[in-house]
Amino acid sequence: MDLIGIEGRRSAATGVNQLRVDMKGGLMAHRYGGKYTEAALAGRLFVVASQGAVTTTKDDATTWTGLGVGNPIGSGKNLIMHEFGWSLIIVGSDDGLVGLASCAIGTDFEALLTQRNCKWGGGPSVAYCDSAATIEAPILERVCGTHGMGTTATEMSKPPQIVDLAGSIILPPGRAVVTWTSEIVTSGLQFHFVWEEIDA
């Protein structure tokens, strides 16, 4: 059966419409809505944020601190990471790089922080969210920006430092994603993650 469309814009208010194509036969598709709306309305989208400025550990330290999301072994879910945000709350105590690393969830990663469904009442998450744990050596996977020591008396503001991961990190059961800084930053940074949970 051929899929047939009609070239050109129409003005159809309601009812059944034929598909529209461009002059070369390509389907004309009107994007609509926010890309996370469907997952959020369905209760599959979750968020967690640091509830205060955290001290971060250096490089691949296994006595790690920051913000991390882990998918516990046996959860039956995959975690699709969509967004990572970070900001300085005060003047940085050192300069360096902010990134994301992954590691095995290990035994010390726990549900220390409360993640929230992006639709209130939309069901629980399987994730463990932690700000301090002894983890297996993380491997840096994403380079997300530079934190400096610039004085807050110079800059009016810094734009949102939000990384659109767009589902490019999948955490199967037993894996975790953790914030990574090249240097120790003392009580200066806060982070957040947005992710979706689907059956593994």
Partner 1 sequence: MQLETKVGPANLSSGAPSQLRSDTGGGLLAQVYGGKYAEAARAGRLFCVANAAPVTTSKDNDVTWTGLGIANPTGSGKNIILHEFGWAHQIAGDDDGLVGLATTTDSGFLATLTARSCYYGTGTSIAECVATATIVAPILERVCGTHGMGAVTVQMAVGPNIVDLAGSMIIVPGRSVVTWTSEITTSVLMFSFLWEEVDA
Applying CB under 8 A, the residues found at the interface with partner 1 are 1-8, 19, 21-38, 40-41, 45, 47, 49-51, 53, 82-83, 85-91, 116, 118-122, 152-162, 164, 190-192, 194
User: What is the separation of C-alpha 178 from the centre of its chain, rounded to a whole number of angstroms?
Assistant: 11
What is the spatial distance between Cα 91 and Cα 72, in angstroms, rounded to a whole number? 35
- Closest distance of CB 74 from partner 1, Å: 27
What is the spatial distance between Cα 33 and Cα 30, in angstroms, rounded to a whole number? 10
Q: Which is nearer to partner 1, 54 or 101 (CB)?
A: 54
Q: Which is nearer to partner 1, 15 or 154 (CB)?
A: 154
- Closest distance of CB 175 from partner 1, Å: 22
Burial class of residue 94 (count of CB atoms within 10 Å of its CB; 0-12, 13-18, 19+): middle
- Closest distance of CB 53 from partner 1, Å: 8
Q: 63: which 2 tokens?
A: 């006595």
Q: Which is nearer to partner 1, 137 or 149 (CB)?
A: 149
Q: Which is nearer to partner 1, 105 or 165 (CB)?
A: 165
Could you tell me which of 116, 146, 121 has the C-alpha nearest to residue 42?
121
